[in-house]
Structure 1
Amino acid sequence: MRGLFRILPWLIILIAGYLFISKKFSISTSVESKHQLMVEKIEAIGKLELVRYQISDVLEHKNKTDFLPEASVLLIVKAEAVGCIDLTKITREDVNIDGDTAVVNLPQPEICYVKIDHKNSRVYDTKMAFFREAGLVDEAYKAAERQATAEVKKSSILSQTKTNATTVLKPIIEGLGYKNVRFTFE
């Protein structure tokens, strides 16, 4: 009986170890996702994208509160901005033909979008974020997008879009038989 009490703890440890190892290495995981997608809106888009800026930003975002230590996050943000012209705004009156000359009045260029490339952006470091890390990172990405948009608006993207519109569209119209092609922007 006394030998049984000496062996019993070892036997329990051995059985528990076997169960742990057998369960640990033979865990079968199944993942199931059910989706019900619905098209909410279909929209005709006639915007011709003519220039794309790729932007990098190193951002240190801090959050200060009265009762918690200062939290910060350091991001390396990749973004892109696209300049385009909305060709759906061109009407018949915007195209003037005189012999072998074509004058096309194009709409003013616009910034189609500025967006963060989350796939290539990285959270480099966080400090004292603890339970508020997700919110802090989200705030930082939003601040990066606002800053990128502000910088793009100050850049030469719209003039570059005009230049590229002429470069891209002129050969097409010349291919229709017009020797002199001019573009204006209203």
Structure 2
Amino acid sequence: MRIFFRVLPWLILLVAGYFFISKKFSISTSVESKHQLLVEKIEAIGKLELVRYQISDVLEHKNKTDFLPEASVLLIVKAEAVGCIDLTKVTRDHIQVNADTAVVNLPQPEICYVKIDHKSSRVYDTKMAYFREAKLVDEAYKAAEQKITSEVKKSDILAQTKTNAASVLKPIIEGLGYKNVRLTFE
């Protein structure tokens, strides 16, 4: 019991010292962001998005230099590509109506955009990247975007856009009272 009373003041002093030091020397950080947003341009968009491809790419990107060890990064990239038709190009001359038949000449489908979903993409692993990791990851994302864009252009996204245009637009035009609807692409 005597040892307990001898150690108790030191224990109290030690705990009090810990709390004092942790509160006194704790590092508090605050973050402040000031934004000044400016709408630069407002555009009317008449593009009808008809198909969306969701794409995954597993990419190993390497950077070789003469004086540094080979650095590499492994990414799992999620992206999407959208096929659409620009309805702002459709004029009255593109629509022919005869009794109960409507013929609509639509513009050729196009790839609206290909973009990487950075929220779903992940940097899986980096090796020997030390001070150049950010640059290496940025290069890898750019390479992935270029590759995905070229592969989407080779895919059947435009044919799928045409098919979906017929399945979306025909019922709308038929709902206007036309029994025969024909969609063509110029």
TM-score normalized with structure 1 length: 0.89
Question: Which residue does the alignment assign to 2:46?
Answer: 46
Question: Do residues 33 (structure 1) and 13 (structure 2) align?
Answer: no
**Partner Cα distance (2:149, 2:46) in 1:** 22
> In the alignment, which residue of structure 2 is the partner of 1:149?
149
Measure, in 1, the Cα distance between the counterparts of 2:28 and 2:139: 38
Alpha-carbon distance change, 24 to 164 in structure 1, aligned in 2, over 3 angstroms: farther
Shift of residue 21, structure 1, vs aligned partner:
1.3
| Structural mapping, 1:93-104, within 5 Å | 93-104=93-104
Q: How far apart, CA to CA, are the structure 2 residues paired with 1:159 and 1:143?
A: 26
- Percent identity reads 82
C-alpha offsets along residues 2-48 of structure 1, whole Å, 9 cap, x if unaligned?
xxxxxxxx9xx9687444212366x6543322111000111110000
Residue 116 of structure 1 corresponds to 116
| Residue matched to 1:60 | 60
What residue is the counterpart of 2:185 in the other structure? 185
Query: 2 CA distance for matches of 1:173 and 1:18?
Result: 75
Provide the rounded CA distance (Å) in 2 between the counterparts of 1:126 and 1:111. 33
Gap regions ≥5 residues in structure 2: 1-9
Name the structure 1 match of 2:127.
Answer: 127
Q: Is the partner of 2:166 in helix, strand or coil?
A: helix
With over 3 angstroms needed to count, the CA separation of the structure-2 counterparts of 1:24 and 1:55, relative to structure 1, is farther
SS at match of 2:82: strand
Q: Distance in 2 between matches of 1:108 and 1:24?
A: 66
> The residue matched to 1:150 in structure 2 has which SS?
helix
The runs of at least 4 consecutive aligned structure 1 residues that moved more than 4 Å come to 13-18
2: CA distance between counterparts of 1:175 and 1:18? 75
The code of the aligned residue for 1:20 comes to: I
Query: What stretches of structure 1 of length at least 5 have no aligned partner?
Result: 1-9
Aligned length: 174
Normalising by the residue count of structure 2, what TM-score does the alignment of the two structures yield?
0.89
2:164 match = 164
Confirm whether residue 70 of structure 1 aligns to residue 70 of structure 2.
yes
